[in-house]
Structure 1
Amino acid sequence: MNWNDRYAVDEYIYGTEPNAFLAEHAHLLTGPVLSLAEGEGRNAVFLAGLGLSVHGVDSSAVGLAKAQALAAARGVNIGTEVADLAEFVPAAGRYGAVVSIFAHLPGALRARLYPLLAQSLQPGGLVLLEAYSLDQLPRNTGGPKDADMLMSLDKVRQGFPGFEPVLLRELSRDVCEGSYHTGLASVVQFIGRKTA
Structure 2
Amino acid sequence: MTNSWNERFNTEEYMYGEKPNAFIEKFSSQLGGLKNVAAFAEGEGRNAVFLATLGHEVTAFDYAESGLRKTKQLAKKNHVEVNTVQVDLLEGDIPAEQFDGAIMVFGHFPKEKQSLVFNKIVNSVKPGGKIMMEVYSEDQLDYQTGGPKNLEMLYKPQDLLDWCEGRKILHFFVGEQTRHEGKLHKGLAHVIQLIVEKNN
Could you say which TM-score interval applies, normalised by the shorter chain?
over 0.9
Shift of 1:118: 2.0
71, 74, 77: which one aligns with 1:70: 74
Identical-pair percentage: 36
2:40 pairs with 1:36: yes
- Aligned ranges for residues 42-191 of structure 1 at < 5 Å? 42-191=46-195
Does the alignment pair 1:17 with 2:23? no
Report how far residue 122 of structure 1 moved: 1.1
- Among 23, 26, 43, the residue aligned to 2:28: 26
- Structure 2 Cα separation of the partners of residues 66 and 156 of structure 1: 30
Quote how far apart the aligned CAs of 1:160 are. 3.3
Aligned partners of 1:114 and 1:160 also within 8 Å? no
Structure 1: which 5+ residue stretches go unaligned?
none
The count of corresponding residues between Structure 1 and Structure 2 is: 196
Deviation track 1:14-41 (CA, whole Å, cap 9, x = no partner) reads: 0000000000111111231111111111
Q: CA deviation at 1:179?
A: 0.1
1:193 and 2:165 aligned:
no
**Structure 1 residue 84: Cα displacement:** 0.7
**Which letter maps to 2:72?**
Q
1:53 shift after superposition: 0.7
Of 27-36 and 153-162, more deviation after overlay is shown by 153-162
Structure-2 separation of matches of 1:101 and 1:92: 20
The TM-score, its normalising length taken from structure 1, stands at 0.95
Classify the secondary structure of the residue corresponding to 1:144: coil
Greater shift, 129-138 or 85-94, is seen at 85-94
61-70 vs 145-154, which moves further: 145-154
1:23 is aligned with what amino acid?
Answer: E
Give 5+ residue unaligned stretches, structure 2.
none
2:10 is aligned, of 8, 11, 21, to: 8
Contact 1:118 1:160 in 2 (8 A): no
Separation of aligned partners in 1, 2:165 and 2:77: 39
TM-score by length of 2: 0.93
- Post-superposition Cα deviations, 1:34-67, rounded to whole Å, max 9, x if no partner, equal 1111111100000000000111011100111011
**Could you tell me how far 1:152 is from its partner in structure 2?**
2.5
Give the AA of the match of 1:141.
T
Give 1:80 deviation, angstroms: 0.4
